[in-house]
Chains A and B, each alone.
Chain A
Amino acid sequence: DAGITQSPRHKVTETGTPVTLRCHQTENHRYMYWYRQDPGHGLRLIHYSYGVKDTDKGEVSDGYSVSRSKTEDFLLTLESATSSQTSVYFCAIRDDRGPQPQHFGDGTRLSIL
């Protein structure tokens, strides 16, 4: 299994509170991604990173921000959580040598009440 750790694995919080999810990798891969998974929508890209301090938006980036200060860590922040952000969040990493697959972490189940 790819060396990806997501934390926390589960979180319940209230509307309006800030939330930060962490993705940690031990593979030294350049690319890291955050997806959300909702019933009927599959997985949708939120933000991704192509290097330290290099990030870009995905399909559903509104309400989310990211940061990558070290190769191994990619943080996803919900500045003011809303109930529509209740979801399962997956981090993925990818080697940048050619067409390589993304490997996913175990996910974070986030509930916003």
Chain B
Amino acid sequence: GENVEQHPSTLSVQEGDSAVIKCTYSDSASNYFPWYKQELGKRPQLIIDIRSNVGEKKDQRIAVTLNKTAKHFSLHITETQPEDSAVYFCAATVYNQGGKLIFGQGTELSVKP
């Protein structure tokens, strides 16, 4: 079955710096890759997603890149702000086979003012 590895587990940056979180997946059939942000005590919320037929997607300060050959995808946050502090999860799925998400272990991002 699918396995998703996420690194780093913790990341501390200064406000205004960039943050990068990386994930690798094992199942070459995976074709949809969402990223979720979870604040303490809250539910995971989608921040960006990418399909397997796209190499990069941007939404304001957030971007995701996908390398299907290497089976890895990354989240890039630019101009970080204290409110970006949270746990971020990557996930992978074959969306047309039940859409069961396999999550990475999470990255705790801390943005210091």
A residues neighboring B (CB under 8 Å): 31, 33, 35, 40-45, 48, 50, 56, 58-59, 90, 92, 94, 96, 98-107
Report B-chain residues with C-beta under 8 Å of the C-beta of A90.
43-44
Contacts of B100 in A (CB 8 A): 33, 45, 48, 58
Given contacts A58-B100, A104-B44, 7 further A-B contacts (CB under 8 A): A33-B101, A43-B101, A59-B102, A99-B32, A99-B49, A99-B96, A102-B34
The CA-CA distance from A73 to B46 in the complex, in Å, is 22
Tell me how many residue pairs across A and B have CB atoms closer than 8 Å: 58
Interface contact A104-B103, CB-CB below 8 Å: no
Q: How far is the CA of A104 from the CA of B104 in the complex (A)?
A: 17
List residues of chain B with CB within 8 A of the CB of A107.
43
CA distance A45 to B102 in the complex (A): 8
